[in-house]
Amino acid sequence: MADLQATARAHTNIALIKYWGKKDKNLILPMNGSISLTLDKFYTDTTVEYSPSLKKDHFFLNGQNKNDQKLAKFMDIVRQKTGFNSYASINSINHVPTAAGLASSASAYAALSLAATTAANKHYTKTELSRLARRGSGSATRSIFGGFVEWIEGQDDESSYAKPLRVNTDWDIRMIAIVVDSKPKKVSSRSGMQTVVATSPFYKGWVSTANKDLNDIKEALSKNDFQSFGQIAENNSLKMHALNLSATPHFNYFEPESLIAMRVVENLREKKVNCYYTMDAGPNVKVICKNNDLNVILDELCHYFPSDHLLVAAPGPGVKLLDN
Ligand code: PMV
């Protein structure tokens, strides 16, 4: 008899080389490979309990019942892959500061992949889990692993998965998430990427330069070259946002405060403080720096943002099981 219940924890990640476009919507195969850093501060705990008496999956997020079609579809994929055919009750708790806008499908689908397969008494390798998590959300592929992670683009379900990057840096890296107040996201990442692939005249240039950025950032990591690393990440992020500005209809994730945060980081660099920014599909700006420079950067940011809107994270671990 299978153990019908399992709980897993996965951390969210910030992309340094972004995934922004699919070549296969059903399998979620990306147009280019990507690189991220898994973060310690923000994570999701998910318990999956199968019950033969259930007639459908039930999903609770932070204690609230949700009707989530995307999640139900994902559970069908889990059932198809594991051959375990019960419906489940799924309880997720997001450990992300309220209103931070950092809640991520990455930690959600990574935790769900491990909990749902383990509860079905299947013991997947991390590579297998990263293929499965990819079917829920592209960025979840990378949250299976800790630290720096590469998502290999691949050509089919088998060949598109993440792996940890073995790096030998002495940076003691930190990321400051600057929480910019915002309304609910105007354009989901799913529809944003669809629009840019279909309409941005710069999309071809994105794919070729993203692949170059990926190789260059790996080289910077292997050479312990923080300055090149930060510049490549910042540039790659701006290129992703430039796609959005050049799409039809155009859209963007910038709020006025996002631009202020970017300018503060650029001004700090002029004063020889080594820091760089990146943004995902939302208005929060993430500043990448070394622990040595953290206080100088926080002191400067405090002039523009309330200190409780500045959240500091360090590299975090990969997905793991928790005792129920
Ligand atoms: O995994 P999704 O569908 O939420 O898309 C993530 C897209 C970005 O966060 C903007 C980039 C990335 O690589 O994580």
**pLDDT tens by residue, 184-243:** 667 889 999 999 999 999 999 999 999 999 999 999 999 999 999 999 999 999 999 999
pLDDT per position as a tens digit, 294-309 = 999 999 999 999 999 9
Residue 236 beta carbon below 6 angstroms from any ligand 1 atom = no
Mutate to test the pocket of ligand 1, among 135, 280, 284, 286 (most ligand atoms within 8 A of CB): 280
Q: Whole-angstrom Cα distance, residue 140 to residue 201?
A: 28
CATH code 3.30.70.890 region(s) in the chain: 174-313
Nearest to 161 by CA among 136, 147, 142, 146: 142
Tokens 């692939």, residue?
Answer: 197
The answer to whether 229 touches 236, Cβ cutoff 8 Å, is no
Lowest-pLDDT range of 176-190, 220-234, 267-281: 176-190
pTM above threshold 0.80: yes
Regarding the domain with residue range 174-313, which homologous superfamily does it belong to in the CATH classification? GHMP kinase, C-terminal domain (3.30.70.890)
Residue 138 beta carbon below 6 angstroms from any ligand 1 atom = yes
What percent of the chain stands above pLDDT 90? 90
pLDDT over 60 (residue 156): yes
C-alpha of residue 2 to centroid of ligand 1, in Å: 34
Q: What is the pLDDT of residue 186?
A: 76
Residue 15 beta carbon below 6 angstroms from any ligand 1 atom = yes
Q: Whose CA is nearest to atom 8 of ligand 1?
A: 280
323 pLDDT band, cuts 50/70/90, is confident
CATH 3.40.50.620 fits 5-168, yes or no: no
Q: Percentage helix, strand, coil, to 5, in the chain? A: 40, 25, 35
Mutate to test the pocket of ligand 1, among 16, 18, 144 (most ligand atoms within 8 A of CB): 18
Residue 84 beta carbon below 6 angstroms from any ligand 1 atom = no
Q: Whose CA is nearest to atom 9 of ligand 1?
A: 280
C-alpha of residue 51 to centroid of ligand 1, in Å: 32
Which tokens sit at 197?
A: 């692939």
C-alpha of residue 159 to centroid of ligand 1, in Å: 19
CA-CA distances (angstroms) from residue 105 to 16, 33, 114, 165, 170?
17, 18, 14, 22, 30
pLDDT over 70 (residue 183): no
C-alpha of residue 140 to centroid of ligand 1, in Å: 9
Provide the sign of the torsion angle of the four alpha carbons 178, 184, 190, 191, taken in this order: negative
Question: Does the ipTM surpass 0.90?
Answer: yes
262 pLDDT band, cuts 50/70/90, is very high
Residue 189 beta carbon below 6 angstroms from any ligand 1 atom = yes
CA-CA distances (angstroms) from residue 84 to 123, 128, 212, 291?
13, 17, 42, 46
Q: What is the pLDDT of residue 97?
A: 64
Mutate to test the pocket of ligand 1, among 189, 193, 286 (most ligand atoms within 8 A of CB): 189
Q: Which atom of ligand 1 is nearest to the CA of 281?
A: 10
C-alpha of residue 222 to centroid of ligand 1, in Å: 25
132: left (phi over 0), alpha (psi -120 to 50) or beta: alpha
At 115, the amino acid letter reads A
Mutate to test the pocket of ligand 1, among 12, 19, 44, 175 (most ligand atoms within 8 A of CB): 19
CATH code 3.30.230.10 region(s) in the chain: 5-168
Name the H helices within the chain.
69-82, 105-119, 126-134, 189-199, 203-222, 226-245, 256-270, 294-301
pLDDT per position as a tens digit, 18-31 = 999 999 999 999 99
